[in-house]
């Protein structure tokens, strides 16, 4: 298209160079046509430049649906499936474990310290200590004692039953430590080996106690709500009675003001007394009754 337009422009220029046989009006028309051709040529050049720029731009990538992986994205964790043999081995290990019972835990002794003191006999798998009641702790603090945590009893699980039995036999009724500078120098071990006791029994016991405690709290809350509801009902009934008494008092005052005499307000609230008719006892002549009695005896 650009070549054809240029050819037409050259033809027009050749014709303009030849002898002029046209009038001055025709020369004006010819100049107008030349200006229009030049404007068209400029537009075509601009279109050509735009086309070259579009060709030089990179083509947009096609949407294939695959997102670019982020460098910071975490890799999915691999799920390792347990084999049946591994579960059997774990159950066998649980059957070999033994549990030691602590009937008293000395003050200032926690699970970590119990574990460190008893690891001399063998490997310990689990330790559980029961914390004392909060009310007892508050009372001790009010009395001027220490406000730290204390434990009442505990259970220690050893990896082997033999180790747990030997620890119970050797530690029972002995000193916690032989160092005179230690805090637990005067404390004694009160321990016992629990034969046939498993850690599952302990978890069941703890869960049962928790359920019982929750049930007690639920019952107490229900009783409190019932008492609160009854109290509110009584208060509402009292308000109604007070309103009735005020209305009766106003009515009596109006009636008394019209009659001109003082009226007691409590007369209207007084209850009516029931009158029961009673028969009088029979009283006959004493002489006749005496004679009747003597006649019957004869």
At 186-214, the pLDDT tens digits run 899 999 999 999 998 888 988 998 899 99
Chain centroid offset of residue 13 CA: 93
- Confidence band, pLDDT 50/70/90 cuts, at residue 155: very high
Reference 129, options 236, 221, 202; nearest CA is: 202
The residue-averaged pLDDT of 272-294 equals 67
Q: What is the pTM of this model?
A: 0.48
Reference 124, options 199, 47, 49; nearest CA is: 199
Give bridge partners of residue 100 from the DSSP assignment. 156, 193
CB 226 within 8 A of CB 134: no
pLDDT at 95: 87
Q: Which residue has the tokens 């601009």?
A: 46
Q: How far, in Å, CA of 116 to CA of 176, rounded? A: 12
Does 159 score more than 50 pLDDT?
Answer: yes
Q: Which residues contact residue 165 at a Cβ distance below 8 angstroms, ignoring those fewer than 6 apart?
A: 98, 193
Q: How far, in Å, CA of 189 to CA of 192, rounded? A: 10
Q: Which residue has the tokens 């006959």?
A: 284
> Could you read off the pLDDT of 80-108 as tens digits, one per residue?
776 777 777 778 888 899 999 999 999 88
- Confidence band, pLDDT 50/70/90 cuts, at residue 292: low
Q: How far, in Å, CA of 18 to CA of 14, rounded? A: 7
Reference 122, options 174, 157, 154, 94; nearest CA is: 157
The more confidently predicted of residues 108 and 285 is: 108
CB 37 within 8 A of CB 9: yes
Does 11 score more than 80 pLDDT?
Answer: no
| Cα–Cα separations (whole angstroms), residue 245 to 131, 251, 253, 262 | 58, 10, 12, 18
Q: Is 144 left (phi over 0), alpha (psi -120 to 50) or beta?
A: left
Does 255 score more than 50 pLDDT?
Answer: yes
265, exposed or middle or buried, with CB in 10 Å at 0-12, 13-18, 19+?
middle
Reference 126, options 105, 97, 149; nearest CA is: 97
> Could you read off the pLDDT of 41-78 as tens digits, one per residue?
555 455 555 555 555 544 544 545 445 545 556 777 77
**Distance in Å from the first CA to the final CA of the chain:** 171
Return the CA Rg of the chain.
56
CB 187 within 8 A of CB 175: yes
- Confidence band, pLDDT 50/70/90 cuts, at residue 39: very low
């Amino acid at each position: 298209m650009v070549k054809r337009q240029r050819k037409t422009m050259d033809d027009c220029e050749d014709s303009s160079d030849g002898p002029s046989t046209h009038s001055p009006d025709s020369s004006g028309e010819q100049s107008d046509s030349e200006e229009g051709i030049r404007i068209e040529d400029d537009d075509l050049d601009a279109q050509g430049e735009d086309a070259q720029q579009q060709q030089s731009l990179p083509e947009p990538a096609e949407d294939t649906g695959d997102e670019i992986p982020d460098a910071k994205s975490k890799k999915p964790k691999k799920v390792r499936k347990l084999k049946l043999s591994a579960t059997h081995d774990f159950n066998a290990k649980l059957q070999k474990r033994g549990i030691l019972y602590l009937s008293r835990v000395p003050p200032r002794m926690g699970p970590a310290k119990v574990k460190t003191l008893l690891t001399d006999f063998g490997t310990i798998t689990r330790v559980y200590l029961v914390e004392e009641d909060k009310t007892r702790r508050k009372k001790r603090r009010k009395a001027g004692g220490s406000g730290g945590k204390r434990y009442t009893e505990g259970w220690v699980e050893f990896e082997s039953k033999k180790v747990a039995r030997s620890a119970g036999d050797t530690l029972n009724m002995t000193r916690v430590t032989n160092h005179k500078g230690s805090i637990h120098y005067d404390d004694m071990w009160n321990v016992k080996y629990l034969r046939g006791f498993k850690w599952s029994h302990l978890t069941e016991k703890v869960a049962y106690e928790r359920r019982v405690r929750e049930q007690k709290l639920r019952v107490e809350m229900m009783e409190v709500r019932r008492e609160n509801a009854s109290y509110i009902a009584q208060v509402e009934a009292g308000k109604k009675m007070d309103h009735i008494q005020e209305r009766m008092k106003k009515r009596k005052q109006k009636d008394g003001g019209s009659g001109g005499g003082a009226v007691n307000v409590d007369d209207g609230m007084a209850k009516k007394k029931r009158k029961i008719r009673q028969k009088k006892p029979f009283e006959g002549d004493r002489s006749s009754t005496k004679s009747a009695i003597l006649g019957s005896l004869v």
